[in-house]
Amino acid sequence: MQIIVDDIDTEYKDTGSGPVVLLLHGWGGNAFSFDPLVRELKNKRFVSLSFPGFGKSETPPNPWGVVDYAQFLASFLKKLNISEIDTIIAHSFGGRVAIKAIATAILLPKKLVLIGAAGVSQKTFFHHCISLVIKIGKMAISIIPVASIRKRLKNYATRTVGSEDYRNAGNLKDTFVKVVSEDLRDDASKLTLPTLLIWGDQDQQTPLADARTLNNCIQNSQLKIIGGADHFVFVSDAKRVAKLINAFV
């Protein structure tokens, strides 16, 4: 289904009945990302959307940060006349948005489930060096007089240095940079609602160390680790994840 929210044509799903569970997908996902998990969950109204720039939702008019996506969620729920959220289930990038939205009281769910959530900055000396190389490279490229050569060099630098998510971000590259540059540990420390963290021990995108960090930051949280599972544990191990969530909510 499609709905206009803040002048953005937005793709969404709204199924089932009962207390509202809001599903927030990860970077590159869409409103249907949680379908394998939803089939294993029970007695709830499941609402999901494709964030602006993903799925069949229109791209934001300018680069957005995490708080922009959080505020958009509030507008989306208002459009659907949803005033109360029982639980938010969020994966990866969706976890960033959930943490920011709850910490700033934009959304006030009763419970939170974070699956392989992003939000812990992993910047090291190496990353700072890479950033410096990119900045110097951009400066050097900018003084090359031939536009076609500048473009080819810029694309080469992006392919060589940028992350896979960045390379695949398309029109959202500036948004991606803005989003991943924000460390949300301070926001996470403001959360007091019951929170369930579910992580695959083979997660490479948001490693288990991130889970332990968030577990320490969020006061009323518990961490459940699923052996042999990766970043998309809610798809590969939907039954086990659903069992944990059903017991929690």
Annotated domain spans of the chain = 2-121+182-248, 125-174
For 65, 78, 167, 178, the CA distances from 183, given in Å and listed in that order, are 12, 28, 21, 11
Distance CA 45, CA 22 (A): 8
Mean pLDDT value of segment 133-137:
50
Angle between helices 147-161 and 125-142 (to 10 degrees): 170
Give the mean model confidence (pLDDT) for residues 38-60. Answer: 96
- Which tokens in the block code for residue 28? 């590159």
pLDDT band at 146 (very low <50, low <70, confident <90, very high): low
Mean pLDDT over the full length of the chain: 89
pLDDT, tens digit (0-9, with 9 covering 90-100), for 223-244: 999 999 999 999 999 999 999 9
Predicted pLDDT at 136: 54
Neighbours of 149 (CB within 10 A): 11
pLDDT at 140 over 60: no
CA–CA dist 47, 205 (Å, integer):
25
Beta bridge partners of 149: none
In tens, the pLDDT along 176-189 reads 999 999 999 999 99
Radius of gyration of the chain (CA): 19
Instruction: Report how far apart, in Å, the C-alpha atoms of 141 and of each of 128, 133, 160, 173 are.
Output: 20, 12, 15, 18
pLDDT average, residue stretch 140-145: 55
Phi, psi of 104 (to 5 degrees): -100, 10
What's residue 67's pLDDT?
98
**Residue 139 pLDDT level (bands cut at 50, 70, 90):** low
Give 190's pLDDT tier (boundaries 50, 70, 90): very high
Which residues of the chain form beta strands (DSSP E)?
Answer: 2-5, 8-16, 20-24, 45-49, 87-91, 111-115, 195-200, 221-226
Superfamily for 2-121+182-248? Alpha/Beta hydrolase fold, catalytic domain (3.40.50.1820)
Tell me the C-alpha distance between 193 and 70, whole Å.
Answer: 17
Average pLDDT over residues 32-55: 97
